[in-house]
Structure formats: structure tokens, C-alpha cells
Structure 1
């Protein structure tokens, strides 16, 4: 699933070419991916709107349109938004095509069809069931060691599970949580409330560090992810534990282990993360 660095990279790559363009029409190949409004109303409302800018909130990509509308996109597992020329072959599992005034197209493809799009008024972002409940952005000034300590205090929830709670830290997902925990030397099953002050500070620093590195590397491509121009990320070349089961830990040399927590794989070093 695209996480904060991937969605940030998509927003930046699309920001280089989309703002100022008018959406002439939308072709819906699979209405399942449109969450709200209905596909007919969606196409009618989007047609003729100018793209004003792109941003990110948590794992949501937000496209501001003229007329005070926002197109919110959650890519889930395999969603991709790619700006391309009209002559490019249509990728398999393409579900939406936005036809732009300069002849180019913005295409939404999604192999597993879990991703969703919403057309919203700006004032409704705070009441959207996903966006409105998001916690602090981990790269914002509000994400401090004190905030993280308060979020962990009194919580016996497994540390990894708490970090994946979007109501606590917006945008952090499986890949970067594993990588941050390894850098901080913390086991994913550790009860959140047992961290010392020093461990909280180490975790806070590791989260911000790994996210910044992920953005600088334009995201992690392990299967489907590409940016808005169809280019893969490179952070997979720098992963220390994620999907490296059985390989030596870069810090201590012990084999990376895997466990399943909440239905998701978690990777860690039994030597460094006791």
C-alpha cells in the first residue's frame, strides 16, 4: 500500500504538470472505484473544472479543483494515478480516465480495485470518515516527542499496531513502521506504554528520519507503486528489515525474522529489537 512517502511523491510529481489544466471529461470504465457521489454525478461535476493543486493528508491524495471541490483519492493496495499522453497503451485494470484540455490524460488504474475516489466540498473534509479522523502528520511541527509520549502513555497495545493507527500518526504504514522500529531498536510486540523517555525520543527521531529518506528516494516500489509519471521509487534498495526475512541484519548480522501482527507481516531483528 502506498504510504506517506509514496503519496507525497505522487503529489509532487503530478504537481509539476497538472495545475492549471482543465478536465474536459471523465470516462468511467469501472464505477466501483468511485465512492461518492454516483458515477454519473461524479463525471458531471468534474467536467470543466480546472486543477488548482495537489496535496496530501495521511495516505490520501487531495486534488483541489475550481468551484471549491476536492478530489480525494485513497490508493489502498495497488492504486496508481499516472499522467500520460493519449497515445500510451491503456494499462490493464484502468478504471478511470480524466481527459485534459492539452490532450493528455490522467489515468487511475488499480489491480485489486480496493482504492476509492471521493468528490468533496472543502468543508466536508473534516467530516469524511477517513480524512476527518486522521492524527498528527509525522513530519509536521505538531509531531513532537511529547505528543508521541502522550499517544503511547497508558496504552498496552502492541507498539507496531499503535503506530499503524492512522488516528495516532497519519500516513505511517507497514514498511516505514518496521524500518523505524528497527532503527530505534524496539520490538514490534512491545507494549506501547512501556517505552522510556529515551526510547520515545529514539522512536520519534527514527520515524521522521525514515520518512524523509523515503521521500528523498521517491518511495518504495516492491510491487505496483509508481509515481505520477509511472516511475518506480528506489527506497527498496535501502530497506534494512522489511521483506528481508532470513537475511543478515545490517547492524548485528543476525537473520531478520518475520511475525504476523493483526494480519500483517512484521519484520524485525531478534538481536537488535529484543
Structure 2
């Protein structure tokens, strides 16, 4: 799933490639991807892309005051092309392209201008596209918590979020209404860097642990954003995997201490951690109702 660093890189890429261009056409390959109907996608035709921003894990294309908001969810992706296929996109259950945005280019052959496809693999169709006049019209955007990389997000802000919480810290980091942009992968990375168990209770962290967690949020996410910056969209997935220290590395050696990276599996996801770095050498039971270890 694309998280804050990858979505920020996609926004940066689109700012350099799409801003200033006029939308020539919007073609729908999967109707279920559209979560709004007024205004319709065709309302973007002839309008100019003014800016591209990020809200948590949401992409926001400002097209002359209309906002094309995209949440890539677990299996969605954005695929840029300097010359899209000339044939119009047709709805098809077999085609991974859910939405195509064509942009004008006076130097391109007819129908072969640049643009991007929104694609989704697998059977769980969660890719979401909203076309609205104000991003705050989308409840999931309006309810986002603070961005952990925002300039004003300090240690005390994090401490206030943690105070009194009965959530496990892993779940709190992934809760978009608490912090915007962190998902399963980077929460594993942040907790490893902070030397905290994923099962630690957020409201029970000691001041020194809060210090480490805040520093890890800023450093892990900041370094990932820097590593992704300037990369084309097609390289971002591999770059993300290459930068992971524990997430997705079950059975490999922890680069910090030499222990073996372990995994806890749930129904629809898993987490990875290092026992030596994070749980005092104790293994977390591989079931949802494990006894809490801190």
C-alpha cells in the first residue's frame, strides 16, 4: 500500500509533469472506482491542472478549482505515460486500468498525448476516486489527523495524542484520524527505529520513549520522502521495499543487532519486528489476541 513517502513522491512527480496542462479527457474503466457523481468526471475536460497536493495518503489534483482526490488503497497505483494508447479506454472486468486521465500536448499525435492511468490489481477493489469542489467534502479527508512531517508537529503534539490512549502503539500509528499518512509498513519501520514493541500501550509510554518515537517518525518518514523524491512513479514500489529494515523481511537478519526479524500474522495483514531491538528478546505470539508485551 502506498503510504506518505510514496504519495508525496507521486504528488511531486505530477506537479512537474501535469501542472499547467489541460485535461483532454477522463475515461472510466471501472465505474465502481468513482465514489462521487456530481460533478461528473467529464467536468474536468478543458480545465487546467493548477496544483497537486497530498492529504495523508490521498492525492489531490486541483483542476481549476475542482479536486480529483485519489486514494490508492492496498493494490492501487498511478502509472504515468508520455504517450497514452490512442484507443479509448473501455470498461472491462479484466483490465486493471480503472481510470485514465489524458492531458493535452500540441506536439503529440492525436490521441497520443501524456497522462496517467489509475490501476488496481487483485480482487479487493478499494481504489477510490472522488471529484469534489472542496477536499473537505470527502469525510476520510476531513477526519485526517495531523501530518507527522508538518513543520509544526513537535514532540509535545505527539505526547498529547498518546496521553491516555488505550490503543497499542502500532494501531495508533496506523489510525488515519490520529496521524495522517502512516500505514502498516512505515509503522513497523518507525517502531523498530524507536525500539518499541508494536504491542506497547500508547498511553503508557515513558517520556524517553515518546522522545524516541517522535524522533523516529520524523527521521524514518523524512528519509523515505528524500529517497523517493525525483523518482518516476514506476520506481517507487521497488525503492520502498529496498529501504525497509524490518517490514517484509521476516527471517532476515536485523541490520541493527543481528537478531532474526520476526512476524505476527493477522487475517489480512502482518507486522514485522526485531525481538532484541523492540521486545527485550521476547517473541510475540502469532495470533490476534496475544498477551501484550511491552
TM-score higher than 0.5 here? yes
**Structure 1: which 5+ residue stretches go unaligned?**
220-226
Distance in 1 (CA, whole Å) between partners of 2:42 and 2:148 is 37
Question: Does 2:49 align with 1:51?
Answer: yes
Aligned to 2:173: 163
How far apart are residue 92 of structure 1 and its match? 4.7
Pick from 93, 96, 101: which aligns with 2:99? 96
How far apart are residue 211 of structure 1 and its match? 0.6
How far apart are residue 262 of structure 1 and its match? 7.7
Indicate conservation of the 8 Å contact 1:259/1:267, yes or no: yes
How far apart are residue 48 of structure 1 and its match? 1.3
- TM-score (norm. length: structure 2): 0.83
How far apart are residue 82 of structure 1 and its match? 2.4
Instruction: List aligned pairs for 1:62-81, cutoff 5 A.
Output: 62-66=60-64, 68-81=65-78
SS of aligned partner of 1:178: helix
Aligned to 1:12: 12
Distance in 1 (CA, whole Å) between partners of 2:233 and 2:140 is 27
Question: Does 2:278 align with 1:273?
Answer: yes
Aligned to 1:138: 148
Instruction: List aligned pairs for 1:56-205, cutoff 5 A.
Output: 56-66=54-64, 68-86=65-83, 92-102=95-105, 103-112=113-122, 113-122=125-134, 125-205=135-215
Distance in 2 (CA, whole Å) between partners of 1:271 and 1:17 is 45
How far apart are residue 187 of structure 1 and its match? 0.1
Distance in 2 (CA, whole Å) between partners of 1:80 and 1:132 is 23
Indicate conservation of the 8 Å contact 1:14/1:228, yes or no: no
Distance in 2 (CA, whole Å) between partners of 1:166 and 1:76 is 13
Distance in 1 (CA, whole Å) between partners of 2:232 and 2:37 is 24
Aligned to 1:223: none
How far apart are residue 228 of structure 1 and its match? 5.6
C-alpha deviations, 1:77-97, integer Å up to 9, x for none? Answer: 121222213356999501222
Indicate conservation of the 8 Å contact 1:11/1:228, yes or no: no
Q: CA RMSD in A?
A: 2.1
- TM-score (norm. length: structure 1): 0.89
C-alpha deviations, 1:222-272, integer Å up to 9, x for none? Answer: xxxxx7642334242232111111112112211111113684311111111
